[in-house]
Structure 1
């Protein structure tokens, strides 16, 4: 891609990036829970996400769903041979901590598209990040109803070990978020109902 293309992408981001919290509140997806500052889904949006998730659990996620989330043509999406849930979009591999996290993201993406036309105007990169962060707004696991927990684990790689915090369901062990330990304050400030 040439300089003009990069310049155009940066300009588009500047014009279409949104404040995630304000955007989600404005479209009726989230609200402060029970008079606190802690955010959670509105009852109507939670119901819509649960309905979309039920359909996705029956039909599965395919490359077309991922292409729509990232705002690319279906031909730009491949399923790489990886031992974890991942899709390759152009030359970038995007991964999820579990198949459940991917299904949840697609359900949120679908629900937001049905809720507002403005969702498709948000840059694909930011849509992905918003969908990712919204996973922490589950008051209980959308798959089994179990309690979500933030836990600290150590992950080994070729270069050493590092602390990783995980939001996962205590009952079904599905993982929804994984992030480095230095981001703890961000998650505790945004996680809903935990």
Structure 2
């Protein structure tokens, strides 16, 4: 009996708009409409109103929406501040599962903030970057180290053992996530890269910095990940095919909003290396560090 119920629910459920793909603004709109409609029915029959609301919530839970065309309605009528607050921005690592803010996570965040380094000063001090014509670039030493590490990586580096190196974890703590792009699950969070080339760049740069200085491991883990992302923009050639890297501009439609996107893409294999918001002037996560 229970198995037949599960089978029936699975047939009704729409994975395109539920689970990790659920749109929060659309859900809010649908629940609000369900509440309003149920209130009208409830004015005639309390039992009928309660049943209508329960049925509407079940439909929203299984299908993701109650009213067809909800994304278009939400985009048109829901105020922008609400959309910006709840919508999953495609440029952020925001498809991660919600993680409760416990005392432990807050304390860990505070510890990492205390140990955080000034990115530009740190990279200059350890000989990772140098000033070149009013801009920063890799030192020859680090560039050679990165190229050497790239040659040791597999073509597809999406392996728990390799990714675990970036986060200082055991391979068992990392699970490959089912995504059309490289992604892993660590605990309750999903961590992603825009392409295999981007992941290869991060792995090679991490290993190169480890070999360059013992101070790399002293940088808080979260800041190391942010630094690796920024350092992708220092590359002049694709870590996969060796093609030139160019800056492109585009717009991306999420469920409820449209965003301007700047990206560094390979002209050869067309893999994106880095995507960023053109209005975000602090990509370095600290004090105006601009690559």
TM class, shorter-chain normalised? Answer: 0.7 to 0.9
SS in 1 for 2:279: helix
Partner of 2:171: 74
Distance 1:156-1:60 versus aligned 2 partners, 3 A rule: same
Alignment RMSD: 2.2
Number of residue pairs matched by the alignment: 187
SS in 2 for 1:112: helix
Partner of 1:167: 264
Partner of 1:30: 129
Could you say which structure has the greater relative contact order, defined with CA pairs below 8 angstroms and 6 or more residues apart?
1
Partner of 1:8: 107
Partner of 2:187: 90
Where does the alignment leave 5 or more consecutive residues of structure 2 unmatched? Answer: 1-100
Separation in 2, partners of 1:134, 1:14: 20
* Structure with the higher fraction of residues in strand conformation: 1
Deviation at 1:61, TM superposition (A): 4.2
SS in 2 for 1:190: coil
SS in 2 for 1:87: strand
Checking the alignment, whether the CA contact within 8 Å between 2:158 and 2:176 is kept in structure 1 is no
Match of 2:228 among 103, 106, 131: 131
Partner of 1:56: 153
Separation in 1, partners of 2:268, 2:281: 22
Q: Does 1:179 align with 2:276?
A: yes
Distance 1:7-1:81 versus aligned 2 partners, 3 A rule: closer
Deviation at 1:185, TM superposition (A): 8.1
SS in 2 for 1:181: coil
TM-score, length basis structure 1: 0.87
Where does the alignment leave 5 or more consecutive residues of structure 1 unmatched? Answer: none
Distance 1:141-1:83 versus aligned 2 partners, 3 A rule: closer
